[in-house]
Chains A and B, each alone.
Chain A
Amino acid sequence: MLLQVNELRKTYATGFEAVKGISLQVNKGEIVALLGPNGAGKTTLISTICGITNPSSGSVFIDGYDISKNFRDARKLVGLVPQDITLEPFEKVLNTINFSRGLFGKKKDDALTEKVLTKLSLWDKRDSRIMELSGGMKRRVLIAKALIHEPRLLFLDEPTASVDVELRQSMWDVVADLKKDGVTIILTTHYIEEAEAIADRVGIINKGELLLIEEKASLMQKFGQKILKVELQKKLKQLPKELSEKNVKLSDDGLSITYIYDTKQKKTGITKLLSNLSNSGINLRDIQTDQSSLEEIFVNLVREKVE
């Protein structure tokens, strides 16, 4: 296990409790996505693990090192890409990257610098000043700064917030490459498709609590609602009586019926629906089912907790 968080709490001086007793374990080589709306406590959780804010209570171990007692050993393993673009505007790319490596107690390594910058398509820009770079490049400089000291655990705090589609895809490619190199990654996002695309496990955070953390596939299965779509041979003006349920809907063109069911339930109601259809003398052309996306799962879960 690379990261172990036990009952971590963070209350700010204002009295606001941003993290309410979160426990979390992350294995080596995993990609974990922490999903949650703005203000859910994702950034505070990361900041506390990385040493930027002091925990109010609880403990954190990185590869067995306590983040307060053995902060040097713990922090050497960690790279952080912050959410906001925070860079010295007048510095050159190369200088700011060498600075980061130095801070982590390592001597300049030109071969590694070239490798990291090339991977992030920044090698050509190494002598440019930060302020001359585009937003997407600046974000890649932040990633380079976090990678240059060869961390084993990388935090990406909303890496694709406000970046265009193309850059988002290239960011995902970078993450996939890092995973191949054995880097453990924890990323926060409020884009569900991001978690869906790259994570092994997904945690859902809301109002300072980790509502759940599960394998992505099992999460989707567990909380997945499915949609059954039945296409009809002939147009239907309205649903027959035996089919009028709140989960069954006739499409506007009258050529298909959709049925939303919960895979968690013992009885999905599919058999009943199909037999009712046949009893009503409706002929079917085709049947298909759709798994609900993480987005729908997320919305359902957060709503459930509020209720």
Chain B
Amino acid sequence: MNFQAVRAIYFFEMARFFRTLLQSFVSPVISTSLYFVVFGTAIGSRIQEVDGISYGAFIVPGLIMLSVMTQATSNASFGIYFPKFIGTIYELLSAPVNYFEILLGYVGAAATKALFIGLVILATAAIFVDLKIIHPIAMILFLVLTCISFSLLGFILGIWARNFEQLQLVPLLVVTPLVFLGGSFYSVSMLPPIWQKITLFNPVVYLVSGFRWSFFGNADVPIFVSLLAISSFTVACIIIVAWIFNTGWRIKQ
């Protein structure tokens, strides 16, 4: 195992994050505050309570998930796409590193960034609403697993993408709608019966639901189903990454 190489990739990627610290830090704080102003205060004052929780607090897990998923995906995809785009990937391919070490470096860094942003949003939310976390260990577990799995997804996208447009496509057209429609801002039980069934095909529902359970103790779907969903998603991503590395798909001719 070439730990030095993993370290080098990880810190090189993290340096990119720290270079844009203001953007990385301020942008989630501002957007979270905006969500609270719009959803929590303007709209939330008319909704009042969902499942016995104030609406402002109810949307916190969904808000965190929204940012974590999109940030993890775009960070990881950019991290591996950029060297491909500017050609510096030659160095990774000719270095004494195996694919697992490359993955560990890139996905580790992207997941760390996403986790950091998730925690910043959590802290910002705590300013606006009264937050209680009933299952803190489960909360951290869900958060970390989501960071890792969506970074894996981003890594796959970054390898798949042939241009910047494709790079933006999936986070914008797939991840964001799925999160918005995945019960981030509402409870599945608030939907008409037919949509309650359809929404169960959205994998994000299980993640948001499980994450919300770790905060408030109630969920749209049973917690073990949520755990199963996030674990299967992670495993699926790992299988795809393993296939990419074995075939050298879009990395090596």
Cβ B253 vs Cβ A103 within 8 A: no
Q: What residue in chain A is nearest B5 (Cβ atoms)?
A: A103
* A200-234 interface code vs B (CB 8 A; 1 in, 0 out): 00000000000000000000000000000000000
With the chains together, A86 CA to B90 CA distance in Å?
9
| In the complex, chain B residues whose CB is within 8 Å of the CB of A105 | 2-5, 96
Q: What residue in chain B is nearest A12 (Cβ atoms)?
A: B253
- Determine, out of B6-14, B114-122, B124-132, B195-203, the stretch whose residues face the partner at the interface: B6-14
B50 interface residue (CB < 8 Å to A) = no
B190 interface residue (CB < 8 Å to A) = no
Cβ A103 vs Cβ B90 within 8 A: no
Cβ B4 vs Cβ A106 within 8 A: yes
| In the complex, chain A residues whose CB is within 8 Å of the CB of B252 | 52-54
A104 interface residue (CB < 8 Å to B) = yes
A20 interface residue (CB < 8 Å to B) = no
Cβ A90 vs Cβ B248 within 8 A: no
| In the complex, chain A residues whose CB is within 8 Å of the CB of B87 | 82, 84, 86
- For chain A, give the interface size range: 35 or more
Nearest Cβ distance between residue B88 and chain A, in whole angstroms?
A: 5
Total cross-chain contacts (CB, 8 A): 83
Interface size on B, residues (CB 8 A): 28
Partner of A99, one of B8, B19, B86, B253: B8
Cβ A103 vs Cβ B9 within 8 A: yes
With the chains together, A91 CA to B95 CA distance in Å?
19
B228 interface residue (CB < 8 Å to A) = no
| In the complex, chain A residues whose CB is within 8 Å of the CB of B165 | none
A165 interface residue (CB < 8 Å to B) = no
Quick one: given A54-B253, A102-B7, A104-B5, are A95 and B12 in contact (CB under 8 Å)? yes
| In the complex, chain A residues whose CB is within 8 Å of the CB of B83 | 88
Partner of B95, one of A12, A54, A75, A98: A75
Nearest Cβ distance between residue B17 and chain A, in whole angstroms?
A: 12
Cβ B88 vs Cβ A52 within 8 A: no
Quick one: given A51-B94, A54-B248, A82-B90, are A13 and B253 in contact (CB under 8 Å)? yes
With the chains together, A91 CA to B12 CA distance in Å?
9
Q: What residue in chain A is nearest B95 (Cβ atoms)?
A: A103
Nearest Cβ distance between residue A132 and chain B, in whole angstroms?
A: 15
* A60-96 interface code vs B (CB 8 A; 1 in, 0 out): 0000000000011111101010101011111100010
Cβ B88 vs Cβ A86 within 8 A: yes
| In the complex, chain B residues whose CB is within 8 Å of the CB of A98 | 8
| In the complex, chain B residues whose CB is within 8 Å of the CB of A76 | 96
Nearest Cβ distance between residue A57 and chain B, in whole angstroms?
A: 15
With the chains together, A254 CA to B7 CA distance in Å?
74
With the chains together, A71 CA to B96 CA distance in Å?
7
| In the complex, chain B residues whose CB is within 8 Å of the CB of A74 | 96
Partner of A80, one of B82, B90, B248: B90
With the chains together, A145 CA to B19 CA distance in Å?
22
Nearest Cβ distance between residue A138 and chain B, in whole angstroms?
A: 12
* A257-301 interface code vs B (CB 8 A; 1 in, 0 out): 000000000000000000000000000000000000000000000
* B94-122 interface code vs A (CB 8 A; 1 in, 0 out): 11111000000000000000000000000
Partner of B2, one of A12, A13, A72, A88: A72
Cβ A80 vs Cβ B94 within 8 A: yes
With the chains together, A171 CA to B5 CA distance in Å?
29
Nearest Cβ distance between residue B247 and chain A, in whole angstroms?
A: 10
Nearest Cβ distance between residue B2 and chain A, in whole angstroms?
A: 5
Cβ B8 vs Cβ A103 within 8 A: yes
B93 interface residue (CB < 8 Å to A) = yes
A59 interface residue (CB < 8 Å to B) = no
In order of increasing CB-CB distance, the 9 nearest A-B pairs are A102-B8, A86-B87, A103-B95, A72-B96, A50-B94, A75-B96, A105-B2, A105-B4, A52-B93
A sample of 11 cross-chain residue pairs with beta-carbon separation below 8 angstroms, ordered by A number, consists of: A53-B253, A54-B252, A72-B2, A86-B87, A86-B90, A88-B83, A99-B12, A103-B91, A105-B3, A105-B5, A105-B96
B residues whose Cβ falls under 8 Å from a Cβ of A: 2-5, 7-9, 12, 15-16, 19, 82-83, 86-88, 90-98, 248, 252-253
Other A-B pairs beyond A101-B8, A102-B4, A102-B9, 20, CB < 8 Å? A12-B253, A50-B93, A54-B252, A72-B96, A74-B96, A75-B94, A80-B91, A82-B87, A86-B86, A86-B88, A86-B90, A88-B83, A90-B16, A95-B15, A98-B8, A99-B8, A102-B12, A103-B96, A105-B4, A105-B5
A residues whose Cβ falls under 8 Å from a Cβ of B: 12-13, 47, 50-54, 71-76, 78, 80, 82, 84, 86-91, 95, 98-107, 145
